[in-house]
Structures are given as structure tokens and as C-alpha cells.
Amino acid sequence: MRAMFSDAPRVTLAAFYWAFILYLLLPLTLMMAMSFKDANFVAFPIGDWTFDWYGEVMQDKQFLEACLYSIMIAAATTLAATILGVWISMLIVAEGIRGQVIIFALACLPAVVPGMISAISLRIFISTIDMPTGTAAIILGHTVHAVPFVVVMALTRLRSMPGNLVDAARDLGADSVVAFFRVTLPYLGPALFGGMIFCVLLSIDDFVRTFFLGGYRLTLPMLIFAKVQGGMSPEINAMATLVLVVTAAVGLYAEHLTRRARTR
Amino acid sequence: MVSSNTTAQDRARSDASVPRYSTRIATVINSALYRHTLGAAVESRIGRVILLAGVPLIWLIMLHVGPIYQMLKISLLSHYPVQPGMESHFTLDNYAIFFRESLYFTPLIKSFIFATAATAVTLIVVYPVAYYVAKVVKPQGRSRALLLLLVPFWAGELIRTFSVIMLLANRGAVNVLLREVGLIDRPIPMLYTSFSLGFGLVYLICLYMLLPLYSAIEKIPSPLLDAAADLGAGPFTRFRRIILPLSRDGIVSGCCLVFLTCIGVFATPMLLGGPTTVLFPETISGFFHGASDKWPVGAAFALIMLVTALAAAAIFMRLVGGRKKRAI
């Protein structure tokens, strides 16, 4: 009797969990299934199945260009955000410097400002410094967005670092720069790699900053947005499915790496 | 084999006067260029401070504070960008416009209602899930249970929004299924309504609620729950007296994160909402595309939104979070 009672909440929770998983996965599954529909309109039931839309997408020059452009922006963003993020977190953990709480708050500011407002303030900012909209502006915007996440990830790792590691390097004759590159940076390694992949996903996913800062070249989210507004076709589903599969694979790989780093 | 090799190399180098390093860094470190620039800079304390703090401080002040400051500055101007032959002067009129016209006032109210409702629904829906993964699932299965929840979030904002259309459209899965079953004759219009927007928002943001809740609940010591159970507390009492108070931090940070994200969402209302669900970001965006001389008004509106949203989050933190020392 007692066992039955204590089991009831457990079973209810499990059922709720699986219902929630279903809720999360159902729309994406439907979207993927629709990419195989053999008709040029989006509607259920699917009826005949085909792979044709994927062939179409792979020959779509606009899509391939958008892919390359997004990847290029993500790579530049990740590089810049990682360097800046690590640099800022080094400043926050440094000894003998005051106002670290303020520096940390400033570093996290872009993560608290809602995306839309961040995009607008950046749009205004680049116009005040006479910077044209376009690739450089997008990279700048994405970097501002990504830096707080790198800072938080690097800080977590830096705080767990034994202080005597750097001291030992200094005793052995390394100056601060050498100690950073030979001791601190390798120690940050795994956490940093996870952070970098997160930057890539943030940049590839970003719509609102690109919308305000971009020029005429379309990134992936911009292309999908334009296509959805232009009218539904299973081609968009095929496109979105391809992007989803690739980003999910990258995300899964990052998750795997960070987990391995944590258990080691 | 390898180690004896390195020691032999080290021994061969030990008589040199300059410090040596066993990697390629050595060539850089020992080059004249390095010793006269960076190497010299780190010798003195002031050089080290500049090297450490220079770039980060410039970046933080220029790009984390700069844009907000410029937005504030422009929101107080009468014209921007300044056209030739036009004078721009200081004014508070851009802010006054907001309070004069309900056309602008209503979208902000709607934004707040949607964000608040989405936050509340997300909290209620996600809390049991987070609790299940953190406390009911056995530790070895926990990361897999968590991973399954993360998968959809690698899809990105736009693709997730798009996938909701598949579910809710007139010829989407739900309507077609209901018609097949015979419950309805004609499709229920769900897309481009408040419902589809709310549904999409919750779908978009539930992860931001899940992770803070999960880490807060996971930290609650299980023996505490067992002790309470031994002392006769039923599941509801245990939840109310132990789990809920101890997961308060997670609730506060999850709700703030979700609320601030919802307020700033731009693409989702444009794809899932209809004419009756024009939210504030869309209103603001109108001032930047098309007639460019309305930039100051847009800047003022964005600031109004930023201040009210942060104030709402701060009030919530104060009310629910209580007085607590904030840790970095």
C-alpha cells in the first residue's frame, strides 16, 4: 500500500517527462517529414514521398551562398569572441586589480539586454562611427553577443585552476605572457572548445542582429525567414532539415566533449 | 625513449644564459622583436597592467556600454541622421510621443502580457520535468535524460518557429488529425493568433527555464527529502516546505532569463503572430526601416522597453529572491 503511494508521483512525473519530450520533438519531426512530400505545397497528410526537394536545395545557389556566408561569419565571430572573452576573464581573476565586480557586470551586460534592443543599439552605434552595414557590422554584433558566454565559461574553469600552477611557471623563469600561453591557456582548453562551439551555434542561429546590421547578402536564418514570408514550400523544410541535422551534430559533439572534459 | 630525449636536449641548453623553452614558443620568446616589445612590457608592473587590462577595458566600454550610450544620446535628439540643411537639437519629445499615442502604448503592454504569460506557463510546465530529471532519474541515466531535452535547442530560433507552423497551420498536423477523427468539419484557425504566438514562445524558450531549475533542484540534498518523509511529510508537504524554497534561486534566474528573452524576441511574432498581436519590437523596428528620420523615436522606445523590462525583472528578483548577497 505504502509502496503504491510512493510510486504514484514517480510514474506521473515520468509520464509528464515523456509527454514533454514528445512536445519538444513533434514539431521538428513534422517539419522534417514534410521535406519528403511530393508536392509543391505544405499540407498534411503527406501522401507521396520523394527525395527531390533535397536535390533542389543542393542546387539552390542562394542556399549554398548563405551557408558559406553564415559559416564565415560564425568563424570570425568565434575567433574574436574567444580571444576577447578569455582576455576579459583573465582581467577578472587577476590579483591586485580593483573593480572586478563592475568589470564582470559590464562583461555580462549584452547577455541581459533583450536581443532586439541590443540589435538596435548596435545599429545606432555603427552609424555614429560611420561604419556601413554589412559583413563587418554583423561580425561585430555577433561578437558582442557571444563574449559574455565565453567569459562565464572561461571564468568557471579559471576559478577551479590551482593558483600554484602559474606561480610554478613563474619560478621556473616564464614571464606573464609565457605563463599564460604555456600554462593557463592549455588548462582552459576543453572548456574553451565547448565555448567556441557555443559561439558558432549562437552566430549561425542569430536573426535579429543580422536583420538590423546586415547588408544585401543573406545569412541562413535571413534566407529561411525570407522564404517563409514568401510562401510555404517543402523546399524550405528540406533546407531547415539540413541545417538542423548539421547544427544538432555539432551541438552533440560539443556536449560530448565538454562531458568528457568534466569527468576527466 | 621520448623523455630521455627531452632531458638530453634540456641539458644541452642549460648552459645558455637566456631562459629556454622546449617548444616553438622559444623562438618567439627569444627573438629580438619579442624581447623589445612584449617582453619589455611585462617587465614592469604598469606594462603588465596595460597588457592585461587595455584591450578588455576598451572593448567593454566601447562595445558593451557604447551602443546603449549612443542610443540614449540619439533618443534625446530631434533629428538623426542629420540631413543637410537641418538642425538637430535636444528634445524630450521622442519620449512624450510614446505616452501620447495608444498606438505605441498598446504593443508594449501586449509585449509584457505575452512575456509574463509565457514565463508563467513555462515555469509550470518545465518545473516537473526539471524535478524528474534532477531527483527521480538515477544519476547514471541523468545526462542522457537531459540530453534528450537539449536536442531540439540546437535547431535555432527560426527553425523552431517554422516547425510550429507545421503543427498549427490550417492544413497542419493538428487540424488534419482532428478532421480525420471527425471532431471538426472545418479547420480551427490557430496560426497567426495569440494562441500560436504563445505556443511558439513557450516552445522557443523552455530550455532557458530548464537549465537553471535543473541545477538548483539537483543541489537539494536527497537525505533532506528522506528525512522529511520519515517524519511523516507527504509529497505535497515536502514539495512546499523543502523543494520549492530551496529551488528559489533557479526559479528566479530561470524566470528572469525567459522573461527578458521573450521581451526581445523579434522573428517569432512576425512569423507566428497576426495583425492583432503586434508586439513592441515590431513597432520599434518600423522606425528604423523606411523613414529614417524617425531613428530618435525608435531609440527612445527601445530605451523605454529596456528600462521597463529590466525594472520588471529586478522587482521580480526582489520579491521572490529575497535579500541575498549576489555572487559573481
The string of pLDDT tens digits covering residues B236-290 is 778 788 888 888 888 888 898 899 888 888 888 888 877 777 788 888 888 887 6
- Please tell me whether residues B211 and B67 are part of one structural domain: no
The set of long-range contacts for B118-122, using a CB threshold of 8 Å and a minimum separation of 24, is: B118/B198, B118/B201, B118/B202, B118/B205, B118/B258, B118/B262, B119/B209, B119/B255, B119/B258, B119/B259, B119/B262, B121/B198, B121/B202, B122/B202, B122/B205, B122/B206, B122/B209, B122/B258
**pLDDT score recorded for residue B322:** 57
Of B75, B105, B135, at which residue does a domain stop?
Answer: B75
Residue A164 has pLDDT above 70, yes or no: yes
Instruction: For residue range A72-97, list pLDDT tens digits in order.
Output: 999 999 999 999 999 988 888 877 77
The C-alpha atoms of residue B245 and residue B322 are separated, in whole angstroms, by 11
Interface test mutation site (partner A, options B163, B199, B268, B279, max chain A beta carbons within 10 A): B163
A151 is a domain residue: yes
The C-alpha atoms of residue A26 and residue A24 are separated, in whole angstroms, by 6
**pLDDT score recorded for residue B327:** 42
- Please tell me whether residues B188 and B284 are part of one structural domain: yes
Domain holding A118: CATH number? 1.10.3720.10
- Please tell me whether residues B31 and B100 are part of one structural domain: no
- Please tell me whether residues B204 and B301 are part of one structural domain: yes
**What single-letter amino acid sits at A61?**
K
Subunit contact B176:A44, Cβ cutoff 8 A: yes
pLDDT grade, residue A240 (50/70/90)? confident
- Residue among A50, A28, A233, A212 at smallest CA distance from A126: A212
B206 is a domain residue: yes
> Is residue B197 within 8 Å of residue B114, measured between CB atoms?
yes
B328 is a domain residue: no
**Domains in chain B: how many in total?**
2
A115 is a domain residue: yes
Average pLDDT over residues B119-140: 88
Max mean pLDDT range (A222-226, A256-260, B280-284, B293-297): A222-226
**pLDDT score recorded for residue B14:** 46
B285 is a domain residue: yes
In a 10 Å sphere around its CB, with 0-12 CB exposed, 13-18 middle and 19+ buried, how is residue B7 labelled?
Answer: exposed
Residue A144 has pLDDT above 90, yes or no: yes
**pLDDT score recorded for residue B145:** 84
- Please tell me whether residues B150 and B48 are part of one structural domain: no
**pLDDT score recorded for residue B78:** 76
Residues of chain A in contact with residue B153, where contact means CB-CB under 8 angstroms, are 251
**pLDDT score recorded for residue B15:** 44
Choice between B121 and B291, residue whose per-residue pLDDT is larger: B121
Domain holding B231: CATH number? 1.10.3720.10
B85 is a domain residue: no
- Please tell me whether residues B220 and B271 are part of one structural domain: yes
Query: How many CB pairs below 8 A link A and B?
Result: 250
Residue B13 has pLDDT above 50, yes or no: no
- Please tell me whether residues B70 and B160 are part of one structural domain: no
Where is average pLDDT lowest: A241-255, B89-103, B196-210? B89-103
Instruction: For residue range B189-246, list pLDDT tens digits in order.
Output: 777 888 888 888 888 888 888 888 888 888 888 888 888 888 877 777 787 888 888 8
- Please tell me whether residues B120 and B251 are part of one structural domain: yes
**pLDDT score recorded for residue B292:** 53
The answer for A 97-116 residues in CB contact with B (under 8 A) is 97, 100-101, 103-104, 106-107, 109-110, 112-116
A96 is a domain residue: yes
**pLDDT score recorded for residue A162:** 77
- Please tell me whether residues B152 and B181 are part of one structural domain: yes
**pLDDT score recorded for residue A165:** 79
Across the interface, which of B165, B169, B267 has its CB nearest the CB of A208? B267
A29 is a domain residue: no
**pLDDT score recorded for residue A41:** 67
Residue A185 has pLDDT above 50, yes or no: yes
Average pLDDT over residues B32-61: 77
- Please tell me whether residues B289 and B256 are part of one structural domain: yes
B194 is a domain residue: yes
**pLDDT score recorded for residue B318:** 84
Average pLDDT over residues B165-182: 81
SS (H, E, C) B216-255: HHHCCCHHHHHHHHHCCCCHHHHHHHHHHHHCHHHHHHHH
Please measure the distance between the N-terminal and C-terminal CA atoms of chain A and give it in whole angstroms: 44
**pLDDT score recorded for residue A74:** 92
**pLDDT score recorded for residue A139:** 93
- Please tell me whether residues B155 and B193 are part of one structural domain: yes
Domain of residue A189 covers 53-263
Residues of chain A in contact with residue B38, where contact means CB-CB under 8 angstroms, are 177
Subunit contact B299:A124, Cβ cutoff 8 A: yes
B84 is a domain residue: no
Interface test mutation site (partner B, options A11, A24, A133, max chain B beta carbons within 10 A): A24
**pLDDT score recorded for residue B23:** 64
Residues of chain A in contact with residue B118, where contact means CB-CB under 8 angstroms, are none
Across the interface, which of A34, A177, A182 has its CB nearest the CB of B38? A177
A149 is a domain residue: yes
Residues of chain B in contact with residue A125, where contact means CB-CB under 8 angstroms, are 63, 66-67, 70-71
Domain of residue B51 covers 24-75
Report the mean per-residue pLDDT for chain B: 79
> Is residue A207 within 8 Å of residue A218, measured between CB atoms?
no
A85 interfacial to chain B (CB closer than 8 Å):
no
User: What ipTM goes with this model?
Assistant: 0.82
B129 is a domain residue: yes
Q: In Å, how far from its chain's centre is CA B326?
A: 19
A19 interfacial to chain B (CB closer than 8 Å):
no
pLDDT grade, residue A142 (50/70/90)? very high
A3 is a domain residue: no
The C-alpha atoms of residue B53 and residue B41 are separated, in whole angstroms, by 13
Cell 576573464 belongs to A89
Report the mean per-residue pLDDT for chain A: 82
Residue A67 has pLDDT above 70, yes or no: yes
CA neighbours closer than 13 Å in the CB half-sphere of residue B147: 15
pLDDT grade, residue B156 (50/70/90)? confident
> Is residue B296 within 8 Å of residue B74, measured between CB atoms?
yes
The C-alpha atoms of residue B243 and residue B240 are separated, in whole angstroms, by 6
Where is average pLDDT lowest: B59-63, B132-136, B189-193, B259-263? B189-193
Average pLDDT over residues B132-152: 83
A41 is a domain residue: no
**Domains in chain A: how many in total?**
1
B198 is a domain residue: yes
Shortest Cα distance from A1 to chain B (angstroms)?
14
Across the interface, which of A109, A208, A250 has its CB nearest the CB of B266? A208
A181 is a domain residue: yes
- Please tell me whether residues B202 and B155 are part of one structural domain: yes
Residues of chain B in contact with residue A173, where contact means CB-CB under 8 angstroms, are 19
Grid cell locating B21? 623553452
Max mean pLDDT range (A26-30, A156-160, A234-238): A26-30
